[in-house]
Amino acid sequence: MLHVSLKNIKLDGKMEKNIVMIEKEDLLAGTWDLAKGFKIDHRALTKLIVKYKDDFEELGKLTGLLAPEIQKVSLENSQKMGRRPQEYRLNEPQCVFLTTLLTNSLEVRKFKLHLTKEFFKQRKLLNKLVVQRQNEEWRQKRISGKTDRRIETDSIKEFIEYATEQGSKNAKLYYMNISKMENKLLLPLELLKNNFENVRDICTSLDLNMLQMADLVVSRSLHDGMKKEMYYKDIYQHARDQVEAFACVMGRQPFGITKVA
């Protein structure tokens, strides 16, 4: 079963959150992002969906917050409370129907075009993911990679305890930061732009091979550094340097690596 979030694509020359998600082998878009793209108040957009609820439900089940609660929570009050209004998540036919209900201002027309292109692109990606998931060699590679990932995770856990003892206040972030570091150094830019919930679920066999080896490189580097009683920041830097050297050997072009504070 696929459950992958796709984010961070370019819209009007800027890096914006992608509204299209792949979930359970279907394409979905949330009303919060649709409202932002169409430059329409989210509350007004959800009221439109409620008004034509029967029509939307002919095209698929409406998932998300119940309509009465959506109407009670204003955008302004939700922001003051530190959370955004919850939303409906529409499938592709429901999104198409929604666009027919909107007046074609310049902003709406431009976003309709973007939405059409995005669904087409993500449909191609979804088909590719489905085919890949059916490949036995890929599945076995994914399973073996999880074993090495657990070895690395155990090493990171030990390193976090080590760093905490040396005074680190945010050592638990190393779980996330080390994964991001490996991904940025080893994976193609087009995968990273989409910011998948678990990027390894959509990697090719070659990408999985490299990540699997990087996991072992990090694990060894962390253990060696702790054994030598190095300062925790120096240990992380050494692990990063080792993965970067490996990436260069493999012909990858690292970009945008941020050092951990």
In a domain, residue 241? The reply is: yes
Question: Do 159 and 107 lie in a common domain?
Answer: no
Give the residue from 100, 133, 166 where a domain finishes. Answer: 133
Question: Do 9 and 119 lie in a common domain?
Answer: yes
pLDDT tens column, 157-213: 999 999 999 999 999 999 889 988 988 888 876 666 655 667 777 777 778 888 888
In a domain, residue 261? The reply is: no
Report how many domains make up the chain: 2
Question: Do 193 and 122 lie in a common domain?
Answer: no
In a domain, residue 255? The reply is: no
Given a cut of 70, is residue 73 above it in pLDDT? no
Question: Do 127 and 172 lie in a common domain?
Answer: no
Determine the Cα–Cα distance for residues 184 and 108; give it in Å rounded to an integer.
35
Question: Do 7 and 126 lie in a common domain?
Answer: yes
The range of the structural domain enclosing residue 123 comes to 3-133
Question: Do 106 and 10 lie in a common domain?
Answer: yes
In a domain, residue 99? The reply is: yes
**Cβ neighbours of residue 33 under 8 Å, at least 6 residues apart?**
17, 19
pLDDT tens column, 14-55: 435 567 887 767 888 989 889 999 999 988 998 899 899 999
